[in-house]
Structure 1
Amino acid sequence: MTVVLALRCANGVVLASDSQITDPGRGLTYPAQKLHPLGAHAAWGGSGSRSVLHDVEQVFSAEPEAILQSENIGHALQTRVVPILKHHYDNFIADVPGQDTGGTPATYVLTAGYVGDEPFIVDVDPNGLIGHHVETGFQAIGSGAAMAQQAHALLAHFGMSKRDVEYGVVAALRVLDALDASSPSVGGPMDICRITPDGATHLEPEEVDEVRRRVDRWVELEHRALDELFD
């Protein structure tokens, strides 16, 4: 299971993911990097075929400025992702002798960042359709996306879209940790990218550990509030 999520805050955007890959054809799980830079002010993550995502990474790494400086970022992403999808669909062998299950080329791509002072959250689905999510303030892709959406809904009353991006970083990790605890196919280490108009920062492992301490503090404060609810 994979989950990549994007969350908009008052002054920034957070992109976060787990790092566990499932290979159904071989019955394996292993860690892999799912978040990647897209120029200096954006990042992207993907869910689905590793071969498709490898090709997407090559294109995005070569043309970040062309994508971010285009008049329509969604169309720029679509123009680059759809030919890759079509190539893999055309060459996919569905039935392999001796193999009962296997992967497919179906792949989702989620991007988030800034163009000037304007944030964006855009995804491309396996059909090549574009989704714009900056207004709703949240999007998740991957097989864990439904659970991530539910977790985000349970935190909606905290109003992350009106809070500083540091709150969004903590909320994103709390969602990922909740999925990690409830699903054996979501696993760490967790990857987080904090993005503001000044640039995108991919958190180091020790920085993620510090964010997790803030998550623990948040939970502690909630317990205290609940204990005092009927006082």
Structure 2
Amino acid sequence: MTVVLATVCKDGVILGSDSQITDKARGMTYPAEKLHPLGDKAAWGGSGARSVLTDVQRCFNENSAAILEAPDIGRALQGHVLPILRHHYDTFIADVPGEEGGGTPSAYVMAAGWRDGAPWIIEITPSGMIGHYADIGFHAIGSGAPLAQQAGSLLSHFHLTERSVDFGCAAVLRVLQALDLTSASVGKPFSLCRIDADGAHHLSEEEIEKVAEVVAKWEKAEQSVIAKLFD
């Protein structure tokens, strides 16, 4: 199961992901990085066929400046992803003897950034459609997306769009931790990227550990308040 999620904060955007890749055809899972830089002012993640996402990563690395400087970032992303999808659809062999149900060449791509004082979150679907989610404030892709959406809804009363990216990092990590508890195929290590007016910063393992300490204090504080309410 894969989950890549993004949430809007008052001063930036947070992207988060797990690191578990599921290979159904071989009955195995393995860790892999799912969050990638898109230049120095944005980031992206993907879900689906690894061959497609590898080509997308190479394309984005080579064309990040043109994408981020385009008048319409969604159309720019679409223009680069569509030829890759079409190539893989055209060359895919569906009926491989002995490997029935071995997957498809489809993939979802989600990118996020901060430009001109405003956030953007854009998804390119396997059919090439463009989805804009900055106005909604939260979006997730991958087979774990429904669970992530539910977890995000359970945190909606904290009004993430009115809080800082520091709080956003804690909220996203808390969602990922919840998915880790409820789904065997979502697991550590987790990745976080915070994007604001200064650019995109991919958190190190040590920085994510510090965020995890904040989450633990947050949960402890909630338990303390609940205990007092029902004393």
Please state which band the TM-score falls in when normalised by the shorter chain: over 0.9
Q: Distance in 1 between matches of 2:86 and 2:101?
A: 22
Which has the larger displacement, 126-135 or 99-108?
Answer: 99-108
Task: Tell me which amino acid in the other structure corresponds to 2:224.
Answer: R
Q: Distance in 2 between matches of 1:114 and 1:154?
A: 25
Equivalence for 1:75: 75
Deviation at 1:52, TM superposition (A): 0.1
Please say if 1:146 is aligned against 2:146.
yes
Q: Distance in 1 between matches of 2:202 and 2:217?
A: 23
Deviation at 1:2, TM superposition (A): 0.2
Deviation at 1:90, TM superposition (A): 0.9
Q: Distance in 2 between matches of 1:40 and 1:98?
A: 44
Give CA deviations for 1:177-204 in whole Å, capped at 9, x if unaligned.
Answer: 1001100010110000011011110000
What is the 5 A alignment of 1:1-231? 1-231=1-231
Structure 1 outlier segments of 4+, above 4 Å: none
Deviation at 1:150, TM superposition (A): 0.2
Give CA deviations for 1:5-28 in whole Å, capped at 9, x if unaligned.
Answer: 000000010011000000111111
Aligned residues: 231
Task: Tell me which amino acid in the other structure corresponds to 1:132.
Answer: H
Q: Distance in 1 between matches of 2:98 and 2:147?
A: 33
Task: Tell me which amino acid in the other structure corresponds to 2:124.
Answer: V
Secondary structure (helix, strand or coil) at the match of 2:213 reads helix
Q: Distance in 2 between matches of 1:52 and 1:145?
A: 19
Q: Distance in 1 between matches of 2:100 and 2:185?
A: 20
Give CA deviations for 1:31-82 in whole Å, capped at 9, x if unaligned.
Answer: 0010000011100000000000000001100011100110100000001101
Secondary structure (helix, strand or coil) at the match of 2:229 reads coil
Give CA deviations for 1:119-152 in whole Å, capped at 9, x if unaligned.
Answer: 2110101110011111110000000000000000
Q: Distance in 2 between matches of 1:108 and 1:99?
A: 23
Which has the larger displacement, 116-125 or 36-45?
Answer: 116-125
Q: Distance in 2 between matches of 1:47 and 1:99?
A: 21
Task: Tell me which amino acid in the other structure corresponds to 1:195.
Answer: I
Deviation at 1:100, TM superposition (A): 3.0
Deviation at 1:114, TM superposition (A): 1.6
Q: Distance in 1 between matches of 2:188 and 2:101?
A: 25
Secondary structure (helix, strand or coil) at the match of 1:214 reads helix
Task: Tell me which amino acid in the other structure corresponds to 2:129.
Answer: L
Secondary structure (helix, strand or coil) at the match of 1:103 reads coil
Deviation at 1:106, TM superposition (A): 1.2
Task: Tell me which amino acid in the other structure corresponds to 2:201.
Answer: T
Q: Distance in 2 between matches of 1:94 and 1:179?
A: 32
Q: Distance in 2 between matches of 1:50 and 1:93?
A: 16
Q: Distance in 1 between matches of 2:97 and 2:119?
A: 47
Secondary structure (helix, strand or coil) at the match of 1:192 reads strand
Secondary structure (helix, strand or coil) at the match of 1:99 reads coil
Deviation at 1:94, TM superposition (A): 1.2
Q: Distance in 1 between matches of 2:107 and 2:100?
A: 21
Deviation at 1:99, TM superposition (A): 1.5
Given the two structures, how large is their TM-score scaled by the length of structure 1?
A: 0.98
Structure 2 alignment gaps of length 5 or more: none
